[in-house]
Amino acid sequence: MTVIDVVMLAVAVLGGASAILVVVSRNVVHAALYLVVALISVAGTFLLLGAEFLAWTQVLVYVGAVIVLILFGLMLTRAPLGPMPQDNDHTRLAAALSVALFGFLAVLIMQAFGDTALPLSVTPTAAIGEILYVHWAFPFMVLGFFLTVALVGAIVLARREEGEGPEPLFDAEMDSERPTPAPTDVSTTPGVTSPSQEIRT
Amino acid sequence: MTESLLALDNVWLALLLKVAAIVGFFLVAPLVIGYIEHKGLAHMQARLGPMEAAFHGIGQLPADGIKFIQKEDIIPANADKWVFSLAPGVALVPAMVILAVIPLGPGLWAEDLDTGVFFALAVSSVSVIGILMAAWSSASKYSLMGGIRAAAQLIAYELPLVLGAAAVVLQAGTMSLVGIVEAQNDFRILGVVPMWFVLPQALGFLLFFVASLAELSRPPFDMPIADSELIFGHMTEYTGLRYAFFMLAEYAGIVVLSALAVVLFLGGWYPLPGVGLPSFDVLFLPGEVVAALAGFAVTMGKIVALAFVMIWFRATFPRLREDQLQRISWLAFIPLAILNIVVVAVFKVVA
pLDDT at A190 (0 to 100): 45
**Which tens digits make up the pLDDT trace of A115-130?**
777 777 777 778 888 8
DSSP assignment, residue B14?
H
Phi, psi of B194 (to 5 degrees): -70, 135
Span B38-53, average pLDDT? 87
Nearest Cα of chain A lies from the Cα of B55 at a distance, in angstroms, of: 42
Upper half-sphere CA count for residue B128 (Cβ side, 13 Å): 35
pLDDT at A165 (0 to 100): 53
Does B15 reach chain A within 8 Å, measured CB to CB? no
Tell me how far CA of residue B124 lies from CA of A19, A32, B10, B111, B259, in angstroms.
24, 19, 30, 17, 13
**Which tens digits make up the pLDDT trace of B247-263?**
888 898 899 999 999 98
DSSP letters for B140-151: -HHHHHHHHHHH
- Asked if the interface predicted TM-score (ipTM) of this complex is over 0.85, the answer is no
Return the number of CB contacts < 8 Å for A and B.
Answer: 86
CB-CB: which of A65, A82, A124 is closest to B125?
A65
Model-level pTM? 0.80
pLDDT at A145 (0 to 100): 93
pLDDT at B148 (0 to 100): 86
**Which tens digits make up the pLDDT trace of B323-346?**
888 888 888 899 999 999 998 888
**Which tens digits make up the pLDDT trace of B288-304?**
777 788 888 888 899 99
| Alpha carbons A81 and B19: distance in angstroms, whole number | 37
Residue type, B231: I
Q: Do B147 and A59 touch (CB under 8 A)?
A: no
What SS3 class is residue B282? strand
Dihedral sign (CA B100, B102, B104, B105): positive
DSSP letters for B167-222: HHHHHHT---HHHHHHHHHH-EETTTEE--TTTTTHHHHHHHHHHHHHHTT-TTS-
Nearest alpha carbon to residue B165 among B332, B335, B337: B337
| Higher-confidence position of A168 and B110 | B110
CB-CB: which of A57, A75, A174 is closest to B327?
A174
Residue of chain A whose Cα is closest to the Cα of B118: A56
| Alpha carbons B216 and A60: distance in angstroms, whole number | 17
DSSP assignment, residue B110?
S
Contacts with A, B 83-122, CB within 8 Å: 83, 113-115, 118-119, 121-122
Instruction: Check: CB of residue B154 under 8 Å from CB of residue B166.
Output: no
Tell me how far CA of residue B270 lies from CA of B6, B163, B207, B291, in angstroms.
20, 25, 23, 10
| Alpha carbons B347 and B351: distance in angstroms, whole number | 6
| Alpha carbons B25 and B109: distance in angstroms, whole number | 12
**Which tens digits make up the pLDDT trace of B7-19?**
666 777 878 888 8
pLDDT at A103 (0 to 100): 93
| Bridge partners (DSSP) listed for residue B282 | B285
Instruction: Check: CB of residue B158 under 8 Å from CB of residue B215.
Output: yes
User: Inter-axis angle of helices B177-186 and B240-265, to 10 degrees?
Assistant: 40
Residue type, A179: P
| Alpha carbons A118 and A125: distance in angstroms, whole number | 18
Q: Do B332 and A65 touch (CB under 8 A)?
A: no
pLDDT at A200 (0 to 100): 42
Phi, psi of B72 (to 5 degrees): -70, 140
Mean pLDDT of chain B: 84
Residue type, A137: A
pLDDT at A197 (0 to 100): 42
Dihedral sign (CA B320, B322, B327, B328): positive
Regions of chain A where pLDDT drops below 70: 1, 82, 161-201
What SS3 class is residue B237? coil
Q: Do B78 and A81 touch (CB under 8 A)?
A: yes
Show the beta-strand stretches assigned E in chain B. Answer: 188-189, 193-194
What SS3 class is residue A195? helix
For chain B, what percent of residues have pLDDT higher than 70? 96
Residue of chain A whose Cα is closest to the Cα of B140: A81
Contacts with A, B 314-343, CB within 8 Å: 323-324, 327-328, 331-332
Q: Do A68 and B151 touch (CB under 8 A)?
A: yes
Residue of chain B whose Cα is closest to the Cα of A59: B122
Q: What share of chain B is helix, strand, coil (3-state, %, to 5)?
A: 70, 0, 30
Residue of chain B whose Cα is closest to the Cα of A35: B129
| Alpha carbons B23 and B100: distance in angstroms, whole number | 10
Nearest Cα of chain A lies from the Cα of B194 at a distance, in angstroms, of: 27
CB-CB: which of B136, B152, B324 is closest to A29?
B136
| Alpha carbons A86 and A123: distance in angstroms, whole number | 45
Instruction: Check: CB of residue A84 under 8 Å from CB of residue A27.
Output: yes
Q: Do B139 and A81 touch (CB under 8 A)?
A: yes
DSSP assignment, residue B56?
G
pLDDT at A1 (0 to 100): 65
| Higher-confidence position of B112 and A1 | B112
Q: Which residues of B touch A72 (CB under 8 A)?
A: 132, 148, 151-152, 155
Cα first-last separation, chain B: 26
Nearest alpha carbon to residue A125 among B168, B115, B3: B115
pLDDT at B6 (0 to 100): 63
